[in-house]
Amino acid sequence: MSSDHPQPSNFIRQIIDADREANKNNGKVATRFPPEPNGYLHIGHAKSIVLNFGVANDYDGTCNLRFDDTNPHKENIEYVEAIQNDVHWLGYDWQDRLFFASDYFEHLYNFAIELIEKQKAYVCDLGAEEIRTYRGTLTEPGKASPFRERTVEENRQLFEGMRAGEFADGARVLRAKIDMASPNMNLRDPTLYRIRHGIVHHQTGEEWCIYPMYDYTHPISDALEGITHSLCTLEFEDHRPLYDWILDNVSVPCHPQQIEFSRLNLEYTVVSKRKLTELVDQGFVEGWDDPRMPTIAGLRRRGFTPASIREFCYRIGVTKSDNFVEMGVLESAIREDLNENAPRRMAVLHPLKIVIENYPEGQVEDLPAANHPQDESLGTRTVPFAREIYIDENDFREEAPKKFKRLIAGGEVRLRNAYVIRCDDVIKDPHGNIIELRCSYDPDTLGANPEGRKVKGVIHWVSVAHAVPIEVRLYDRLFVHPNPDAAKGEGDYKELLNPDSLRTLTYSFAEPGLATAEIGESYQFEREGYFCLDPVKTADGKAVFNRTVTLRDTWAKLEQQHAG
């Protein structure tokens, strides 16, 4: 289990503190994380996972993983497995408490019979459209269904018939009998069960052709599991009276307390499974784990660490007010982690060849290089130096203003971990493009500048003969608008996708040690950012490195450019 710093308090922890003070639930804390297996988890789910599992850890309680699988036509086993994998990867464990709402189908059915017997539920033959019109509006009360006064016996027979498969989809539903005039629309005789034939449920197969609704299933599942604090997002606030009504009217062993908190919204992306599914299904991204996706799988492939995501969740906190979190908050969490922990390496993204004419042909020196500028515990490695090297083409200008601290024609620069070189000659193709530099090196400059010599600029490099060819993928935000949902209304958010969210560099080179890089390890490519190996190679067998994040926050600057 994760061993992070103590988590900041929040209003939910204060409620729990007060409950324990009053010895409510015998001082016990039991939470659950209840995803619907209809997509992969995203960063919003991480907020809920960190909250639910974090509270359980800190109060010596338990947190269950429960799949809310009552909508089987949108669900599948791939999602069930991916979700478990992601929760574990984030650093949390449900031990032997993996549950499915479908585990309770028989109980749920029996509780429905109990409601029927108490005259608190009835079978209704109105169609979906009629139910909607009968329900009324916010300003007008609803109208009673003509089937509302069916006898207990008739209701029981019809409900048993629904279960037995005697009626077609949509022919009948079971409804709670609450109050058609309630100012809360959720209490105007909500549907509890509907008929769904022809579904092969990933857990229960073809056993059932009636499926319980979320609002009915959730409180009962919570109660059967002995949940004490049922934490959910704000949109369920209006459903709480129904949650309580269900628990007050069936013989469940306890009455959990529902507490709502605000969802996480993150700028320049979307956190809705429906929209993320659409991006995947319609090919706007390469899959659920595309490194541009705000999914846990995407963030992992992008190079985020579990600790950085947990840290992000602590920083944003838990409140009841809706707001948008800046992407910079997420990025600084991973940047701080990698700055501390990622070994340094050299890789040249846009190669420009240099021949060091006074360096002996065939000679190779293995020069020592520190893996971290401050943390010696990360050790050292050697990098091969030879007569032909690549530097980044952006580190050379034929002419440049004084403040350009890199290489210019006739000027000097230090090669990181190696010597000072001087550019003697610039070779161009017939179109005037620079294709190569001729340089000379000063053998007395290894490690330090000789007395009186001022060479300020330091650039990275790799040896041509030893470097490994790599592909590099540079990512930018997925959308060009901070709130793609609101900008153009439902459905149109895809027009706001950023066409430049992925830039691929197919001709880059890394120092030879990166040939044995492993998936899940992160590196700082000096001066270029933090990178990790992608699990999939290119078609021609090249290693691919994803940039997780740049070295510094470039968003603030971009923001100004966009505004200006």
Catalytic site residue from 273, 275, 344, 387: 273
Q: Which of 24, 28, 36, 286 is catalytic?
A: 36
Q: With CB under 6 A as the contact rule, which of the stretches 42-50, 299-307, 528-536, 540-548 interacts with ligand ATP?
A: 42-50
Angle between helices 152-164 and 105-117 (to 10 degrees): 160
The nearer residue to ligand ATP, 189 or 260, going by C-beta atoms, is 260
Distance CA 554, CA 423 (A): 31
Residue 257 CB, nearest approach to ligand ATP (Å): 15
Contacting residue, 25, 31, 44, 413, with ligand ATP by CB under 6 A? 44
d(CA 331, CA 552): 9
Q: By CB under 5 A, is residue 272 in contact with Mg ion? A: no
Residue 34 touches which of Mg ion, ligand ATP, none (Cβ within 5-8 Å per kind): ligand ATP
Name the one range near ligand ATP by CB under 6 A: 43-51, 53-61, 185-193, 454-462: 43-51
Instruction: Find the binder of ligand ATP among 116, 162, 227, 264 (CB under 6 A).
Output: 264
Residue 171, judged by CB atoms within 10 A of its CB (0-12, 13-18, 19+), counts as middle
Choose, by CB under 6 A, the member of 120, 255, 263, 353 that binds ligand ATP. 263
Exactly one of 7, 25, 31, 48 binds ligand ATP (CB under 6 A); that residue is 48
CA 474 to chain centre: 18
* 53-57: long-range pairs with CB below 8 Å, 24+: 53/87, 53/92, 54/7, 55/12, 55/13, 55/16, 55/29, 55/31, 55/229, 55/231, 56/29, 56/30, 56/31, 57/1, 57/2
Q: Does 123 bind ligand ATP (CB under 6 A)?
A: no
Please give the Cα distance from 437 to 395 (Å, whole number).
12
Contact between 227 and ligand ATP per CB under 6 A: no
Q: Cβ of residue 264: shortest distance to ligand ATP, in angstroms? A: 4
Please say if 196 is a catalytic residue: no
What does the block give as tokens for 345?
């390496």
User: Which residue, among 541, 524, 220, has the nearest Cα to 343 in the 3D structure?
Assistant: 524
One of 232, 349, 415, 532 touching ligand ATP (CB under 6 A): 232
Q: Is the dihedral of CA 232, 234, 235, 239 positive or negative?
A: positive
Residue 24 three-state SS: helix
Total residues found in the chain within this entry: 564
Burial of 198 (0-12, 13-18, 19+ CB in 10 A): exposed
20 scored as a contact of ligand ATP (CB under 6 A): no
Provide the token pair at 224: 């059967």
Sketch the per residue contact string, 331 through 360, with Mg ion: x for CB under 5 A, - otherwise: ------------------------------
In one letter, which amino acid is 374? Q
- Tell me which stretch binds ligand ATP (CB under 6 A): 34-42, 183-191, 343-351, 507-515: 34-42
Among 220, 242, 271, 478, binds ligand ATP (CB under 6 A): 271
The yes-or-no answer on residue 153 being catalytic is no
Closer Cβ to ligand ATP, 36 or 393, answer by number: 36
| Beta bridge partner(s), residue 370 | 380
Do 40 and 295 touch, CB atoms closer than 8 A? yes
Report what 297 binds from ligand ATP, Mg ion, none; CB cut-off 5-8 Å by kind: none
Shortest Cβ 301–Mg ion spacing (Å): 24
Q: Read off the amino acid at residue 289.
A: D
Which partner in Mg ion, ligand ATP, none is near 48 (CB below 5 to 8 A by kind)? ligand ATP
What is the spatial distance between Cα 67 and Cα 32, in angstroms, rounded to a whole number? 10
Record the tokens describing residue 87, joined without a space.
Answer: 């929760």
Q: Supply the minimum distance, in Å, between the C-beta of residue 221 and ligand ATP.
A: 12
Q: Least Å distance between CB 271 and Mg ion?
A: 12
Regarding 66 and contact with ligand ATP (CB under 6 A), the answer is no
Q: Given candidates 24, 27, 36, 278, which one binds Mg ion under the rule CB under 5 A?
A: 36
Q: Which is nearer to ligand ATP, 39 or 513 (CB)?
A: 39
Least separation in angstroms between residue 111's CB and ligand ATP is 22
User: Which of 16, 31, 45, 53 is in the footprint of ligand ATP by CB under 6 A?
Assistant: 45
Token pair listed for 248:
């007050």
Question: Can you tell me the distance from the alpha carbon of 476 to that of 499, in angstroms, rounded to the nearest whole number?
Answer: 10
- Residue 202 within binding range of ligand ATP, rule CB under 6 A: no
Hey, what are 76's tokens? Answer: 């599948």
Q: What is the DSSP letter of 320?
A: S
Number of residues engaging ligand ATP in binding (CB under 6 A): 15
Q: Which long-range contacts (CB under 8 A, 24 or more apart) does 424-430 make?
A: 424/357, 426/398
Rule CB under 6 A: choose which of 7, 19, 25, 34 binds ligand ATP.
34
The option from Mg ion, ligand ATP, none interacting with 353 (CB < 5 to 8 A, set by class) reads none
- The verdict on 54 binding ligand ATP (CB under 6 A) reads no
Among this protein's residues, is 149 annotated catalytic?
no
Cβ atoms of 198 and 210 within 8 Å: the answer is no
Rounded CA gap, 59 and 18, in Å?
13
Interface residue list for Mg ion (CB under 5 A): 36
Q: Give catalytic residues, as residue numbers.
A: 36, 263, 273
Interface residue list for ligand ATP (CB under 6 A): 34-36, 44-45, 47-48, 68, 232-233, 263-264, 271-273
